[in-house]
Amino acid sequence: MNDQQPNRIHSAVQLLTERALATLQHFLHVEAISGIVLLVAAAAALLWVNSPFAHSYHDLWNLPITLRLGEFVFVRSVHFWINDALMTVFFLVVGMEMRREIHEGALSRLDQAILPVLAACGGVIVPALIYLGFNSVAGRSHGWAIPTATDIAFAVGVLALLGRSIPSNVRVFLLALAIIDDIIAVLIIALFFSGGLEPSGFVVAASGVLLALALQRLGFGSALAYVVPAFIVWAGFLIAGVHPTLAGVVLGLITPVRSTGPETVPPVVRVEAALHPWVAYAIMPLFALANAGVDLRGIEFGGGAQFVALGIGLALCVGKPIGVIGATWLAVRFGGCRLAADVSWAGVCLIGLLAGIGFTMSVFIATLAFTDDKLLDAAKFGVLVGSLISVTFGLGWGAEYAQRQRNAQS
């Protein structure tokens, strides 16, 4: 009997490890392919808006969609429903990623989390300072947060193009860094890009959260049961003046991480796995198609718009690598941190370069930061150029790094 107990424990640990690795591999596979889909959607938007059919691009996203509930009528454009409603599902998956990583992943232990956390902080602070160095004046300074985020799908997609010679721990470091970047971006949106707050909205949102927790307590396992409380939380945030997409983060963070009843897979894993392909292959590309359309013929770089584009571009392709690599070096040199096995400084440099790819979240923050179309177009242009340069540098350095890895293994 005593001999069987350790065997059972070993088998359980092995099963959990294999399940975690399978989840990570599936996540990386989806992200890698979706990065290509995102690129195609962004390219399509650019071609469309710079073609003779540009008017149809703008007309499509400005079409009104009406929601009727009895006498209640809510009319918003297609653009609103994509950016403020569908992107809530994107943030729901982000929230679930955070919840899972805090429970059993890269953020579950302080000694594991501290290095990517510090690296991510460096990758937020330095780009923000570079941007403000060009845009400290009122009106343009609101864009300081645009170059602080990393696009997980694009970054992991570029890393996948480099092949299997890249050590797995480098991929994990990049993934942890990008997730922490998302957490910081969510906090920035909540703190700096919300309007005048209406207390009654928070009461509505809290009632939705309590309803979701009550359904969990009662054992409701169907995702459909949580549509109503999710809508209540979303509507509450909208009423409160907080960006409604943050409802997704809140709901993701309260998703159970332990299996209940006959289910062997925890709800946070099951729901995330179900939603992730929809987010990666439909919602994010649709967001890119609706937001990446920058009329390059009509960009006006007067009135400070040129400094917005320049500040964002340099912050992404220069500030991000300096911040990530510099913070990592300081943490290892003076903070008592250690690089994981198989993560060399060449690998850290690759991570820093890829961290400069800031498409989805950067464009999203730009839509919140600027209401002036001229500044918004300049910001999007800066994001596109900075991200493209980061992709180029990342692929160039990564190809050299991958070749070194193959030579070392042969």
pLDDT at res. 17: 53
**Residue 211 scores a pLDDT above 70:** yes
302's torsion region: left (phi>0), alpha (psi -120 to 50) or beta?
beta
**Residue 232 scores a pLDDT above 90:** yes
Per the model's pLDDT, the better-predicted residue between 49 and 359 turns out to be: 49
| pLDDT tens by residue, 104-128 | 766 666 766 788 889 999 999 999 9
Domains of the chain, start order? 10-90+103-193+269-409 (1.20.1530.10)
pLDDT at res. 173: 84
| pLDDT tens by residue, 64-102 | 998 887 778 888 999 899 988 898 888 888 788 778 777
Instruction: Enter the pTM of the model.
Output: 0.72
| pLDDT tens by residue, 262-287 | 666 778 878 888 888 888 888 888 98
**Residue 393 scores a pLDDT above 80:** yes
pLDDT at res. 46: 87
Residue 17 token pair: 């490890």
pLDDT at res. 28: 55
Among the listed ranges 15-24, 149-158, 179-188, 394-403, which one has the minimum average pLDDT value? 15-24
Mean pLDDT for all residues in the chain:
83
